[in-house]
Structure 1
């Protein structure tokens, strides 16, 4: 092996922010792209697939500073309770980590007050990331079908310690 990078310690980063999920109207950020043959009659909307590109802010107010975009898919995947398979990428849009991503996946059962999802990777400052995310529903506005979701993410990444060139 000619080039070898070694990692000795790990760094943990805590991210805390709010996702603004707008499901209807001219400013919608979530769209239904597919349904199963039973979605319309299923009490859990089984088989519904959505894509989203949500604004992520430092505070629960939609007008607060944007720090990221939450982009990905949700799939309703439980016949008995409302639960979604999440594929979620946090693309950081400001600050020292701008351009970095954190990838989160897992089962999100919305009736639970707190839900835990897995951090399975990332890019940029979060390359080789792992960890977990705790999410909860902060608020819901039924008239506009608008949710604010609170996320706290604990991301562990290796700290690059040395770069060794070998012949």
Structure 2
């Protein structure tokens, strides 16, 4: 019995040495190259429209029979327009596509927001910023995290400072002012 255990241990050690020696490495390291970072500040307005025949935010899930547009558990898909100014007739600079979820059961309403802020004009045309953050909608201003981006904003990180410019408490329509500070390569 002892000889079997000793022999098994020897075989185990030898097989692990052989498999290590015969294995190939599939990783490659390279020298880190310093990347020059740019700081970009952007300011635009988001029009989040829940009312009318062509809303830009549509409830896709939530508790049945709930009349509160931002009641706990409500989930909205959004395709909001981004404009230079607060008027809907201002020049369009892009769109905000994503979703938000009403995540607060307390007195202070809060959303969790995931949105891709895609720019369709100017030097950032074809680029976008990704925002994924808690959005305490009664704070004015409030801040949310930029967690990445595409195009010229690849690997971006930063902060969005949001002010509610207009809010219709009856139907939930809102115009939000976004001041964005991002750092990107």
TM-score by length of 1: 0.85
Which residue of the partner structure matches residue 52 of structure 2? 25
Matched, 1:130 2:157: yes
TM-score by length of 2: 0.77
Which residue of the partner structure matches residue 163 of structure 1? none
Which residue of the partner structure matches residue 96 of structure 2? 70
Q: 1:91-129: CA deviations, max 9, x gaps?
A: 001112111010011111111111100000000000000
Matched, 1:157 2:177: no
- Quote the offset at 1:71 in angstroms: 0.9
Which residue of the partner structure matches residue 131 of structure 2? 104
| Structure 1 unaligned regions, length at least 5 | 159-167
Which residue of the partner structure matches residue 119 of structure 1? 146
The answer on whether the counterparts of 2:58 and 2:76 sit within 8 Å (CA) in structure 1 is yes
- Quote the offset at 1:42 in angstroms: 8.3
Report 1 or 2 for greater relative contact order, CA contacts < 8 Å, sequence distance ≥ 6: 1
Equivalent position SS for 1:15? strand
CA 1:19 to 1:13, structure 2 compared with 1: closer, same or farther past 3 Å? same
Coordinate RMSD, CA, aligned: 2.4
Matched residue pairs, number?
A: 157
Q: 1:53-98: CA deviations, max 9, x gaps?
A: 0010001110010001011100011110210000011000111211
Greater Rg over alpha carbons, structure: 2
| Structure 2 unaligned regions, length at least 5 | 1-27
